[in-house]
A = this chain, B = another copy of it.
Amino acid sequence: MTDELGKSIFERSHCPIACALDYLGDKWSLLIIRDLLLGKKRYQEIMASPERIATNILADRLKKLEAAGLVIQQAYQQKPVRYEYILTKKGEDLRPVLEALVKWGKAYFPGTTVFKSHE
């Protein structure tokens, strides 16, 4: 099975977990998805999260998440053009994964709390 560019979409194996981790297996991607699920939309809103993501990493991850079809860019103004980042259904559908992670994290890191959705 190949994508439109002819390269296999099964980068490491035919396991759904391995394929998912090819896109999400790092310290930042799922935190960005978390922010977007919580209602954040703009670059500076994500930058303001307490984990202090470096700006080059955020720009890189947004590009990769867009290429992976989890996120789309939407201009909210021209002159100068500025973008909001919106989850696609594919991205939204990660909500149960994040919820399971939250449950586990709260059980084993007592004292942690999820931020409230901000709108």
Residues of A within 8 A of B (CB): 1, 9-10, 12-22, 25-28, 30-31, 34, 49-52, 90, 93-94, 96-115
Cβ contact within 8 Å between B18 and A51: yes
Q: Which residues of B contact A34 (CB under 8 A)?
A: 15, 17
Identical copies in the complex: 2
Q: Which residues of B contact A50 (CB under 8 A)?
A: 12-15
With A9-B109, A25-B25, A93-B107 already in contact, the answer to whether A102 and B18 are too (CB < 8 A) is no
Add 12 more A-B contacts to A15-B34, A16-B101, A16-B113 (CB < 8 A).
A10-B112, A13-B50, A14-B112, A16-B104, A16-B112, A21-B27, A25-B26, A25-B30, A93-B108, A96-B100, A96-B104, A99-B100
Can you list 11 A-B contacts with CB-CB less than 8 angstroms, sorted by A residue number? A12-B52, A13-B50, A13-B51, A15-B31, A15-B51, A16-B109, A17-B101, A20-B101, A20-B104, A26-B27, A97-B100
